[in-house]
Structure 1
């Protein structure tokens, strides 16, 4: 029992530190591709079936966002000198992938670490309904085409940044017997999701949370 508690504590700490490292802190390393749990291991067939490559984009600077957004970004940066817009956007893409995969896999522990109470309750309710129906998902995040900062503001000491994710997702739903209910892994569909992340700028810990989700 003690060993299990220690392991769970280590997993929780790892998830918290991972989210902290990808959101809102200055990058210490060169940009790396977003990891996906569904990617195949590198092998002999990789040359025949190369993985899709993300679209090349110019780095985002504060001056690249609309004036209303720029004001909010500057306010957050003034309150939290460690905040960096480029690092935040790259980290937000990583968090987007982590949350989607956790939801598709029914991983409530990961969702609890990354989401606030309201968003977690929504995801958990959908997972419970899916499990009650005996359905499973085999969704895949093929690529994130774009990540656009739509709004940023500082209310008191709470920072909120909304990012519009434009992505290609292949979706498959199966029933309890493994039969296809809907979707196809061969046809990716464009998805537009506006997600808002929040953080208390005075907090020292890894407390960026997914605060709101909406369609883009």
Structure 2
């Protein structure tokens, strides 16, 4: 009887060892990660992070349509004159255009002297002299300025020059010494296209720009 019990115990122990060895290997196999299809056994390559896109410089609306060479010249002017601002310059040029035209029409030499360089002032003054000698007057009206566009720009040493195209509607009338209309009409405005060039010494303390050339657009 005792012998049978011992034999049964030995058989049970033997079966237990066999079961453990089988289950143990299966558990170890299940813990290993399965290799997926199309997955390489090699370690994944380390890819460098994409470099951030460089920030694009803000381009003022006033420079839309301006040629690259002109834009470079404007930036050179701004670098030489920290107070230069394209938008402010264009606003000031609009005002100067109106003031100079009205001063010429009315014969206001003092205003022309302040806003023009010597050569341009001399040309306006000569025309006013001839008009006054003939007894004629100009009864002109600037109806509106349709457009002001940068035409060209340059920085030559300390002298900055910017040419602007002005497109404006003007009602022009010339009267004789008796007040009779001898040219033009106040009822019909005409389109005027002028290219005016303003200049300034960028190192001068005076921030004013002077009209130094006029031409037809």
- Say yes or no: TM over 0.5: yes
Distance 1:94 1:199 in 2: 17
Is residue 167–residue 190 contact of structure 1 (8 Å, CA) maintained in 2? yes
What is the 5 A alignment of 1:40-79?
60-62=61-63, 64-79=65-80
Q: Which has the higher contact order (CA 8 A, sep 6+)?
A: 1
C-alpha contact 1:171 1:183 (8 A) present in aligned 2: yes
Q: 1:180 to 1:209 in 2, by over 3 A?
A: same
Structure 2 gaps, min length 5:
1-59
Runs of 4+ residues deviating >4 angstroms: none
Task: Return the offset for 1:66.
Answer: 1.3
2: distance between equivalents of 1:77 and 1:206? 13
Q: 2:198 maps to what in 1?
A: 197
Residue of structure 1 in register with 2:159 after alignment: 158
Tell me the equivalent position of 1:182: 183
CA RMSD of aligned residues (A): 1.1
Query: In the TM superposition, what whole-angstrom CA distance separates every residue of 1:99-134 from its partner, at most 9, and x where no partner exists?
Result: 000000000011001000000000000000000000
Pairing 1:115–2:112 present: no
Q: Structure 1-normalised TM-score? A: 0.71
Matches within 5 A, 1:1-216: 60-62=61-63, 64-216=65-217
- How far apart in 1 are the matches of 2:137 and 2:64? 44
8 A contact 1:169–1:190 mirrored in 2 = yes
Q: CA offset at residue 64 of structure 1?
A: 4.5
The answer to whether the 8 A contact 1:135-1:174 is kept is: yes
Structure 1 residues 154-181: Cα deviation after superposition (integer angstroms, max 9, x where no partner): 0001100000000000000000011110
Instruction: Please tell me whether Structure 1 or Structure 2 has the larger radius of gyration of its CA atoms.
Output: 2
Aligned length: 158
Partner of 1:14: none
1:63 Cα deviation from its structure 2 partner: 5.4
CA displacement 1:74-106 (0-9 Å, x = unmatched): 010000011011111111011000000000000
Distance in 2, Cα, partners of 1:167 & 1:124: 23
Q: CA–CA distance in 2 between the matches of 1:72 and 1:170? A: 35
Consecutive unaligned residues in structure 1, runs of 5 or more: 1-58
TM-score for both structures, normalised by structure 2:
0.71
1:136-164 C-alpha deviation (Å, 9 max, x unpaired): 01000000000000101100011000000
Asked whether the equivalents of residues 175 and 181 of structure 1 are also in contact (C-alpha less than 8 Å), the reply is: yes
Distance in 2 of aligned mates of 1:174 and 1:125: 18
1:208 deviation in Å?
1.3
